[in-house]
Amino acid sequence: METLSVSTEESKAVERRLYSEMWGKRNLAVIDELVAPDVIEHNPNVPGQGPGREGFRESIKTIFSVSPDVQVTMEDLIAEGDKVVTRWMVFPSFFEEVIFWAAFISWVGYFAIRAVLAQLRNKTSAKKTEPNRLANLPNVALVIIFVAVWLGYARIGPLPNWLFYPGIALVILGTVISHWAISVLGRFYNQTVTVMSNHRLIDRGPYRLIRHPQYTGMLLGILGFALAHQSWAAILLLFVGGSLLFWVRMYFEERFLLTHLGDEYARYYGKTKRLIPFIL
């Protein structure tokens, strides 16, 4: 029986051509040429996939029918002889990818600009500031968000594509809530936990019912980005990581304000919830 010898570079060329023709040009005829009749594939995105080449072809057709504009990018290609491993990322469409990154950059940029402006405005009027124990929390949050984005691109824990637009809607809603909260605080808003000169308790607007409406909005935005990337793994990471980070922030913030605003803040603390009116 004759054994076909394939070089490493030939194996890579076959894989590149399969990706280019099948995903890039939507040419499914290349499957007959490059995919073995008895191929075995386990695709979590297409449950119940049939056996062999025809099952593989039907799985690709299913993906195209659900996401006609799906974009697949080969990130890594590793080969040794006839053994090939690829790492790839996928997004439902180029248009949705543009929307996602435009929303993400705008979201991060908005909070960064508000934080810088608040620091410049309030650096001479701060009376008491919480020690710098919380300084690294924003950096940790960004790392968690970028890991979650990677999980979405890698299709780890995939969710239905229709969640993209509800996710973006949550980002917009969360940003509106945060903007409302920051605007109501006015000159008392700061990135660091600070008591200003002539400081007074704000209990109007969203602060009538919850103590941290800005964080409510930010958590909604984070959840929205996870949904937009259609990954339950990203949702789990952001929910657990975001909850822990904001819990730490709220704990130190409330302890600091109780110390420096006294009974007035204690009464306010007793009649409001942290994040969700009447619940949490």
Instruction: Report the Cα–Cα distance between both ends of the chain, in Å, rounded.
Output: 71
176 and 47, same structural domain?
no
pLDDT at 269 over 80: yes
The count of structural domains within the chain is: 2
129 and 83, same structural domain?
no
144 and 48, same structural domain?
no
Give per-residue pLDDT as tens, 3-35.
Answer: 556 688 888 888 888 888 888 788 888 888 888
Which domain does 76 fall in, by range?
8-91
- Check if the beta carbon of residue 170 is closer than 8 Å to that of residue 227: yes
The owner of tokens 């006609």 is: 68
Q: Which residue, of 69, 91, 113, is where some domain finishes?
A: 91
Give per-residue pLDDT as tens, 173-220.
Answer: 999 999 999 889 887 777 777 666 677 788 888 999 999 898 899 889
20 and 131, same structural domain?
no
CATH of the domain at 41: 3.10.450.50
174 and 136, same structural domain?
yes
Q: Which residue, of 37, 64, 91, is where some domain finishes?
A: 91
Residue 276 lies in a domain: no
pTM above 0.75, yes or no: no
179 and 104, same structural domain?
yes
135 and 51, same structural domain?
no
- Check if the beta carbon of residue 17 is closer than 8 Å to that of residue 24: no
Three-point CA angle 106, 110, 113, nearest 5°: 130
Q: How far are the Cα atoms of 87, 157, 185, 212, 255 from residue 182, in angstroms, in the given order?
A: 42, 35, 5, 10, 20
225 and 103, same structural domain?
yes
